[in-house]
């Protein structure tokens, strides 16, 4: 669902139109009237309410299937309303329940406004951490787990060791254990959800030129490369710390399946520079597949007909392909 | 000249072949026999020794003009030799003298091996700092001066507030005064050397999402945005701190003439991701124009015929165009 006052409802309708013929069915967990409104605005058939996930497949070819959740307050496009926050949260919980029960193959989340959910008592930093909480106790999950944030776009997959922390805290938070854990989650996901038999991971250095043998910082020597050695000793194919500025060039991209970056901008700059609209976010290390568009709620442009659904469409396609891959390996 | 055991001599010959017909004459300050060797290997006419810079223009159309400096030790390709370091240094000094006297329009430096020069007693961190030293006392220079490192490539110009320091020192070294100074040097260069009447500068934030109003770091609030306000009060068109991950996307690139990045990888990742081979380095804030290819000496591939001259050629073209621009404004 995402925040109903943002661009979520309109890009969901756009995504249905785009994917309708592609045999990649999805259904919306959200307000039925809002979905009907946006379908009508886009000249689409009226959505169809469904009660069970398995009804979605047959409906999808001719209309957007909606598992309805009713919003208490009227949605004013562009103006988020705390009164609707509990239903936004409920939609996330319902999606997590359905994927954990295996009734849906993956979940895709439209953008939420954290501040609005906080006002309603939401006690998690964001979607990803909330899903990590919901995933606890899932009984079918033994792999190393996270959650770990991975961005994809422009032919790159980039997972992050640290995410939403101030840059001044990045160096202090960096340790060998966390790098090892994140790389293991990434390696597992590349095998399990992307079907890569022996994934190749490239590891970013922290300092300019990856420290140049200690001349410009020594975290590569004392923290990062020891983690890489420990990972290789466990059979994971990962490089030592590489100069991050050269690692995302076209010729280098064919030498790895994913990059492990150490902090937010190091990983997001190359993905967004190459593919701003089509980039997506994937949560690795959960007992289910979850992707999301890599943009915010877009309150400022909501309802104006200019929102682009590229990222949501890419997120749905990726979720579909990952779920097919995971299912084929389980069976 | 750069290090004679690196790829400098061969890419110089390649650059002559590429630019010969383009009316962008340059001359080499370097060893004549080495230049002759590489010209012959590439099937080019024998270079012509010149004694004065103004002879270069007429020679350039038919052969590489060389202002000769004789190396004391025989060059072994791929094996740098400290014995030759004093001549490498002399070539930089000679180039600086010629451009400061106005006998050449710009200088372009081939890559040096810092460790080799250090062994020979070179007391500067690199080319740029050495040139800053040589530039002292130039009597025709009143503008704010630096030097400031700027990378160009893939349609981007990115200047750096900090360069070759460990990431852990970036936050501590950041202050309003340095940002103001760097932005003023950049603004001046964009006007003076690039002919942009009212340059638009985009300023990177330090933290994820530029701190999100202080939620993830407060340097934007206390250090970076105050610098931007002070700059705007002086008539310089610069933004407040922007989320760095979104700033280099294609649509954003048309909204500025240059980006001011706060640390090495923040600025170099987007340039090298978009244009690894054609990216160049420009030193702003010097009383003369200086560019260089954005790569190292390439000892490992020197002499093998696979070195690419793209970056050197781009550096020479940029130096030419900047010198034409600066000359037109002075006259």
Look up the CATH number of the domain holding residue B175. 3.40.718.10
Distance between start and end Cα atoms, chain B: 30
Instruction: State mean pLDDT over A97-119.
Output: 92
**Interfacial residues of B (vs A; Cβ cutoff 8 Å):** 163-168, 170-171, 206-209, 211, 216-219, 244-246, 248-251, 263-266, 268-274, 276
Three-class SS state of B94 = helix
Instruction: State mean pLDDT over A317-331.
Output: 88
CB atoms within 10 A of CB B21: 8
Structure confidence by residue, pLDDT tens digits, A192-234: 999 999 999 999 999 999 998 888 999 999 999 999 999 999 9
The backbone region for A209, taken as left when phi is positive above 0, alpha when psi lies in -120 to 50, beta otherwise, is: left
- Where is the domain boundary, A285, A300, A323? A285
The fraction of chain A above a pLDDT of 90, given in percent, is: 83
User: Is A281 a member of any domain?
Assistant: yes
User: Is A319 a member of any domain?
Assistant: no
State residue A236's pLDDT score.
98
CB atoms within 10 A of CB A210: 26
User: Is B310 a member of any domain?
Assistant: no
Alpha helices in chain A (DSSP H): 8-19, 32-41, 56-60, 85-100, 114-119, 127-135, 167-173, 176-192, 219, 225-233, 244-247, 250-253, 264-274, 310-330
Q: Are residues B165 and B268 in the same domain?
A: yes
User: Is B281 a member of any domain?
Assistant: yes
The C-alpha torsion from B68 through B134 and B158 to B317, rounded to 10°, is: -30
Chain B residues close to A269, C-beta within 8 Å:
244-245, 248, 266, 269-270, 273
Sign of CA dihedral A108, A322, A247, A223: positive
The fraction of chain A above a pLDDT of 70, given in percent, is: 97
Sign of CA dihedral A284, B207, A133, A69: negative
- Choose among B294, B298, B302, B297: nearest CA to B318: B294
Q: In what order do the strands lie in the sheet with B28-30?
A: B28-30, B65-68, B48-49
The C-alpha torsion from B92 through B93 and B98 to B100, rounded to 10°, is: 110
Q: Who among B266, B268, B273 is closest to A274 (CB)?
A: B273
State residue A140's pLDDT score.
56
Instruction: State mean pLDDT over A34-40.
Output: 97
- Where is the domain boundary, A106, A141, A176? A141
**Residue A150 Cα, gap to closest chain B Cα (Å):** 15
Q: What are the E-state strand segments in B19-126?
A: 28-30, 48-49, 65-68, 107-108
pLDDT at A171 over 90: yes
State residue A329's pLDDT score.
79
State residue B140's pLDDT score.
57
Q: Are residues B11 and B129 in the same domain?
A: yes
Distance (Å, rounded) from C-alpha A138 to C-alpha B151? 49
Q: In what order do the strands lie in the sheet with A28-30?
A: A28-30, A65-68, A48-49
Q: Are residues B122 and B62 in the same domain?
A: yes
Task: Judge contact between A156 and A250, C-beta under 8 A.
Answer: no
Q: Are residues A280 and A147 in the same domain?
A: yes
Distance (Å, rounded) from C-alpha B22 to C-alpha B12? 15
Q: Are residues B80 and B150 in the same domain?
A: no
Rounded to the nearest 5°, which phi and psi values hold at A232?
-65, -35
**Residue A266 Cα, gap to closest chain B Cα (Å):** 7
The per-residue DSSP string of B226-243 comes to HHHHHHHHTT-EEEEEE-
User: Is A41 a member of any domain?
Assistant: yes
Cβ distance A249 to B166 less than 8 Å, yes or no, reads no
Q: Are residues B59 and B188 in the same domain?
A: no
Average pLDDT, chain A: 93
Q: Who among A166, A246, A273 is closest to B276 (CB)?
A: A246
User: Is A295 a member of any domain?
Assistant: no
DSSP label of A79: B
What residues make up the domain containing B83?
1-141
**Interfacial residues of A (vs B; Cβ cutoff 8 Å):** 163-168, 170-171, 206-209, 211, 216-219, 244-246, 248-251, 263-266, 268-274, 276
- Domains contained in chain A, number: 2
User: Is A305 a member of any domain?
Assistant: no
Q: Are residues A257 and A156 in the same domain?
A: yes
Cβ distance A207 to B246 less than 8 Å, yes or no, reads no
Q: Are residues A123 and A146 in the same domain?
A: no
Chain A residues close to B206, C-beta within 8 Å:
167
| Chain center to CA of B265 | 16
Cβ distance B274 to A276 less than 8 Å, yes or no, reads no
- Where is the domain boundary, A141, A165, A185? A141
User: Is A102 a member of any domain?
Assistant: yes
Which stretches of chain B score pLDDT less than 50?
A: none
Q: Are residues A185 and A112 in the same domain?
A: no
pLDDT at A35 over 70: yes
Rounded to the nearest 5°, which phi and psi values hold at B55?
-75, -15
Task: Judge contact between B153 and B118, C-beta under 8 A.
Answer: no
DSSP label of B79: B
Pairing of strands A148-153, A280-284: antiparallel
- Choose among A108, A111, A210, A202: nearest CA to A157: A202
pLDDT at A114 over 90: no
Q: Are residues B104 and B129 in the same domain?
A: yes
Three-class SS state of A186 = helix
Cβ distance A167 to B217 less than 8 Å, yes or no, reads yes
Strand-pairing partners, residue B292, are B281
CB atoms within 10 A of CB B74: 11
State residue B181's pLDDT score.
94
Residue among B167, B218, B263 with most chain A CBs within 10 A, to mutate: B167
Q: Which residues of B110-141 are buried (b: 16+ CB within 10 A; e: fewer)?
A: bbbbbebbeeeebebeebbebbbebbeeeeee
Could you tell me which chain A residue has the CA closest to the CA of B156? A273
Answering whether pTM is above 0.90, one says: yes
At residue A65 the predicted structure's pLDDT band, cuts being 50, 70 and 90, is very high
Q: Are residues A126 and A188 in the same domain?
A: no
Q: Are residues A5 and A114 in the same domain?
A: yes
């Amino acid at each position: 669902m995402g925040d109903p006052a943002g661009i979520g409802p309109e890009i969901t309708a756009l995504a249905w139109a785009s994917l309708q013929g592609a045999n990649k069915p999805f259904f919306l967990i959200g307000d039925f009237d809002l979905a009907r409104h946006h379908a009508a605005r886009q000249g689409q058939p009226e959505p169809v309410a469904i009660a069970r996930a398995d009804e979605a497949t047959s409906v999808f070819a001719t209309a957007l299937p909606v598992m309805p959740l009713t919003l208490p307050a009227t949605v004013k496009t562009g103006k988020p309303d705390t009164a609707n926050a509990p239903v936004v949260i409920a939609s996330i919980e319902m999606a997590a329940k359905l994927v954990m029960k295996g009734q849906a193959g993956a979940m895709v989340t439209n953008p939420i406004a954290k501040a609005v959910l906080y006002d309603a008592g939401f006690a998690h930093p964001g979607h990803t951490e909330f899903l990590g909480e919901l995933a606890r106790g899932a009984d079918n999950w033994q792999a190393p787990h996270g959650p770990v944030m991975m961005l994809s776009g422009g032919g790159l997959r980039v997972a992050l060791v640290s995410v939403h922390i101030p840059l001044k805290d990045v160096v202090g938070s960096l340790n060998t254990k966390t790098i090892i854990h994140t790389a293991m989650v990434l390696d597992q996901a590349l095998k399990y959800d992307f079907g890569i038999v022996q994934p190749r991971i490239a590891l970013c250095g922290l300092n300019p030129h990856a420290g140049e043998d200690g001349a410009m910082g020594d975290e590569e020597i004392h923290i990062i490369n020891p983690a890489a050695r420990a990972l290789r000793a466990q059979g994971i194919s990962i490089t030592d710390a590489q100069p991050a500025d050269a690692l995302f060039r076209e010729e280098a991209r064919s030498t790895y399946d994913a990059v492990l970056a150490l902090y937010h901008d190091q990983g997001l700059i190359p993905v967004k520079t190459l593919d701003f609209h089509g980039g997506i976010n994937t949560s690795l290390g959960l007992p289910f597949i979850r992707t999301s568009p890599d943009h915010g709620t877009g309150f400022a442009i909501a309802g104006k007909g200019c929102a682009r659904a590229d990222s949501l469409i890419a997120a749905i396609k990726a979720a579909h392909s990952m779920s097919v891959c995971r299912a084929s390996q389980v069976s």
